[in-house]
Amino acid sequence: MKTIPYKTYLSEQQMPDAWQNLRADMPHCPPILHPGTLQPVTLDDLSHVFVEELAKQELSTEKFISIPGEVMDFYRMIRPSPLVRAYALEKALGTPARIYYKFEGTNTSGSHKLNSAVPQAYYAKQQGLTSLTTETGAGQWGTAMSMACVYYGIDLSVYMVKISSQQKPYRKAVMETYGASVTPSPSNTTNAGRAALAENPDTQGSLGNAISEALEAAMTRDNCRYVLGSVLQHVLLHQSVIGLEARAAMDSLEEYPDVVIGCAGGGSNLGGLIVTYAADKLAGKASPEIIAVEPASCPSLTRGKFAYDFGDVAKTTPLIKMYTLGSGFKPHANHAGGLRYHGMNTSLSQLYDDGLLHAKAVTQRSVFDAAITFARTEGTLPAPESAHAIRAAIDEALACKESGESKCILFGLSGTGYFDMQAYQDYLSGAMDDNIPGEETLQSGFASLPQIG
């Protein structure tokens, strides 16, 4: 084997110029249904809500979709991202495992979200749209979208989950710096927001409800569409740049991972990271273990149901078959805001159902314990979401120490934690708890599932 450098960067010429579609290798992936007719949605159905090119990608079964030149231009400003060998972490753990991570937090938005925000804003511009609406939970997606929209000259309205806007006031300031208008959700500016406030005036908001507000706003404005930063197939498609770059870098080191790990909220960074390895697995060419890591407080894969569900609380989206806790599930206000969604991308849900993807739920304090070990060894301050993947990677590496196996572990470090210092402080001061929903909470979420034959 070659001597492995700490960091491996591709050159700009080696950056992928086409996205890879995981769905192309999964003909059995369940279609999105129209909630009225219960028939598979058409391009026309989706184009009322979504940017048309994104709607096309949502339905596409093409394996490769070329990345437009103007998107490549933006990608070149922020990519490639580094693949890092975690020598210091390995040493601290005393493990024979080789640990690599693909770090997506080097851009100002601080996460992988910009990889999808850029093409989404670009295609909106191409269509002649003048504004977009979206929601943001932890704030990363809203930040990424505001950066992309200002670049392509599109107005952006962001509905930000109220608890997050309180926990992270500077996120709002960053979005406003990039020209977006930010409304804490639920708000009294939409029917969906007013309904949520009427039901519970003290509500801290939820991602599902913010989606309802953003959708409603998009439908009532001219020349406007709604964009989403996770869960959907076109978002996974864009995030394949993570996995394509990681694969090229790993190949150049003559490394093939035994284990690939990512945190999973709606599944986009994980789906992007694993794209080529999952394709190998589906083709029977190799069998790397693929692990999705989710919070024990919002366990859509490990405790959810594989069922058709709505993407939002107001039940206005098309129906997606996914592992879900029900759109009415109310997750505890844990500190990994990006992992607080009730469902999971369809392709990943299907892979999990097929036994090709494993899932692991981890508790909040064990995640922060891993985050701090990582920060103190590798030097990079991880986002709480990303630290879920670190937790699982460390556990794998410690298992190798027990067994003496020298596995190759690749994980996705989806972002940095600069805006999450309240969470770190809570952990360090002992004020953080582990919240695991009881059966009753889960049952009340499942009760919100639509009854579909």
Ligand X SMILES: *Cc1c(COP(=O)(O)O)cnc(C)c1O
Name the residues that contact ligand X, by CB under 6 A: 111, 113, 138, 140, 230, 263-270, 338-339, 383, 385-386, 414-415
Q: Which among 384, 360, 356 is positioned nearest to 370, based on CA atoms?
A: 384
Q: How far is the CB of 152 from ligand X (least distance, A)?
A: 21
Beta-carbon neighbour count of residue 173 at 10 Å? Answer: 10
Q: How far is the CB of 194 from ligand X (least distance, A)?
A: 27
DSSP-based three-state secondary structure for 441? helix
The residue among 253 and 368 lying less far from ligand X, judged by its C-beta, is: 368
Alpha carbon of residue 117 to chain centroid: 12
Q: How far is the CB of 205 from ligand X (least distance, A)?
A: 16
Q: At what angle do helices 346-353 and 233-252 cross, to 10 degrees?
A: 70
Q: How far is the CB of 85 from ligand X (least distance, A)?
A: 21
User: CB within 8 A of 91, min separation 6: which ones?
Assistant: 377
Which residues are 295's β-sheet partners? Answer: 362
Q: How far is CA 198 from CA 165, 195, 226, 235, in A?
A: 20, 5, 25, 33
What ranges make up the beta strands (E) of 216-280?
Answer: 224-226, 259-263
The residue among 213 and 420 lying less far from ligand X, judged by its C-beta, is: 420
Q: Taking the CA of residue 427 as centre, how many other CA atoms within 13 Å lie in the half-sphere pointing to its CB?
A: 20
The residue among 57 and 95 lying less far from ligand X, judged by its C-beta, is: 57
The residue among 81 and 230 lying less far from ligand X, judged by its C-beta, is: 230
Q: How far is the CB of 243 from ligand X (least distance, A)?
A: 12
Coarse DSSP helix, strand, coil percentages of the chain, rounded to the nearest 5 percent: 45, 15, 40
The residue among 100 and 419 lying less far from ligand X, judged by its C-beta, is: 419
Q: At what angle do helices 69-78 and 114-126 cross, to 10 degrees?
A: 150
CA distance 303 to 442: 8
Q: Tokens 């060419």 identify what position? A: 285
Chain position whose Cβ is nearest to ligand X: 415
User: CB within 8 A of 367, min separation 6: which ones?
Assistant: 295, 336, 384, 387, 388, 390, 391
The residue among 187 and 268 lying less far from ligand X, judged by its C-beta, is: 268
Retrieve residue 341's tokens.
């969604």
Q: What is the four-CA torsion angle of 214, 232, 122, 384, rounded to 10 degrees? A: 80
The residue among 95 and 368 lying less far from ligand X, judged by its C-beta, is: 368
Q: How far is the CB of 257 from ligand X (least distance, A)?
A: 18
The residue among 326 and 412 lying less far from ligand X, judged by its C-beta, is: 412
Q: How far is the CB of 380 from ligand X (least distance, A)?
A: 12
Between strands 259-263 and 289-295, the pairing is parallel
The residue among 98 and 388 lying less far from ligand X, judged by its C-beta, is: 388
Q: How far is the CB of 249 from ligand X (least distance, A)?
A: 20
Q: Tell how many helices (H) and how many strands (E) occur in the chain.
A: 18, 15
The residue among 277 and 407 lying less far from ligand X, judged by its C-beta, is: 277
DSSP-based three-state secondary structure for 225? strand
Q: How far is the CB of 44 from ligand X (least distance, A)?
A: 27
Q: How far is the CB of 83 from ligand X (least distance, A)?
A: 17
Q: Tokens 């596409």 identify what position? A: 60
